[in-house]
Chain A
Amino acid sequence: MSKKVLIVDDDPDVRLFNTTVVEESGYIPIEAANGEEGLKIIKKDRPDLVVLDVLMPKQSGIRLYRELKTDKDLVGIPVIILSGVAKRTFLRSQKALTEFGDKPVPEPENYMEKPVEPDELAREIKKFLG
């Protein structure tokens, strides 16, 4: 059975781009428009990979990532961050949250800054899903 890739991004154009890349790579795309919706889908459908934006309404990718990496049932799901927000900011924000008393979280498996070429994204997805 084909592997499932969850795409979490509030921009419908970006979701369309990402789902096309996922489909053409032979996997099944699932979509969510914000972190809150993304978490519900992750718990229900358990995707094999998550491609996650950072700046979104309802819940940001920073908080969703934290929820994933501090949940023992979900921690194993690899995450590619695909965002306009710089990696350095992402890491600093996670550090700030840890300093405020939250649990430490590992660095994301992969961090890509927007925009990316389709081949580049496809290559990174394949690294995780084979």
Chain B
Amino acid sequence: MEIKKLLFVTRFDNLRFDALQSLMDLKKAALSHVVFLNVIERDKVAMRRGKGYEKGAEIRLREKANIRFIDWAETLFEQGMEVGVYIVVGSFAGQVIQAAEKESVDLIVLSPERKGRLEQLYSGSDITEIVHRSATPVLVYKYLSQKGPLAENPFEKPLLATNWSEASQRAIDYLKSLKAVIREVDVVHVASEKDLKETSAMGIQKTRKENRKKLDALCDDLEDYGITAKPHVYIGDPVSEIDKGARECQSSMIIAGSPRKSLWKDRWGTSIGKGLAEQSIFPVLLIPPKEG
């Protein structure tokens, strides 16, 4: 599961070329091909009363995106990278999934959700839809500083959140394929209050001990693989505990498996992946389970 080809989805406001450059360390882990995608959403060129479809607006938006992509592509081409480009009109999530499938990419990079909570309730979250409908891992990129990304590589010191699910296992496999770019990983399991076996101190410690043992085994496995790993067990709300853990560990990003749930259930805000993507200040890499 190497990252050879990534799809960089941008609207040019929250995700710029400097973000892509901060991911260029992935070249050490096989990255050789970047595909740019700009989706011109229908409302930008929609039919207006008395005007019809605004072809002129579409051409202007296309050319604006094209000129920016040529500029970015020139830098990457000169580094010996392969570059492709799509500028399309349509629904955001649908076009991202289509381009990811056409190009068989190994990673989708996009900016955080732009839709508000209310809009998500009736039309759904784009990121959730992409994670649900595509088997490709999704990196929700966030700038760690207001001035832009730190020069560091977000993959340098990730925090891996695991709940022992199939998607978590896939996240571990994915992480192993990135060992050339990872300096150290903090592995976290958050037991929610309802997972505690008993309310006594002994019972709570028992839950910690069981999970810690599993984490130790996982960290040993990662270290055998050449990745320095440190285990942590927390108790509480998974989203806020993972985010807190990432701050304490000074992580560069959060990696989490994203189990398949019904889109409808996710729309009401129950998934950890969605919570992290929306609430955490860190870049979040969501790994869906395999298709089928």
Contacts and interface: CB of A to CB of B under 8 A. Distances in A.
B83 A96 contact: no
A55 B83 contact: yes
A85 B66 CA distance: 11
Contact of B74 (A10, A34, A86, A99): A86
Interface string B71-103: 001100111101111100000000000010011
Interface in A44-88: 54-60, 62-63, 84-86
Contact of B84 (A57, A93, A96, A99): A57
B102 A93 contact: no
Nearest to B85: A55
A58 B103 contact: yes
A61 B161 CA distance: 41
B77 A100 contact: no
B284 interface: no
B80 A58 contact: no
A92 B75 CA distance: 10
A105 B73 CA distance: 21
Contacts of B84: 34, 55-60
A90 interface: yes
A93 B103 contact: no
B219 to A, nearest CB: 36
A41 interface: no
Contacts of A60: 77, 82-84
A62 B77 contact: yes
A60 B103 CA distance: 12
Chain B's interface size range is: 10 to 19
A89 interface: yes
Interface residues of A, number: 22
A34 B103 CA distance: 12
Interface string B165-193: 00000000000000000000000000000
Contact of B80 (A55, A84, A96): A96
B103 A90 contact: no
A89 to B, nearest CB: 4
Interface in B87-125: 99, 102-103
A122 interface: no
A97 interface: yes
A53 to B, nearest CB: 10
20 contacts: A54-B77, A57-B35, A57-B84, A57-B99, A57-B102, A57-B103, A60-B82, A60-B83, A60-B84, A62-B77, A63-B82, A85-B73, A85-B77, A86-B74, A89-B77, A89-B78, A92-B77, A96-B78, A96-B79, A96-B80
Given A55-B73, A92-B78, 12 more contacts: A10-B85, A34-B84, A56-B85, A57-B99, A60-B82, A84-B66, A85-B70, A85-B73, A86-B74, A92-B77, A93-B78, A96-B79
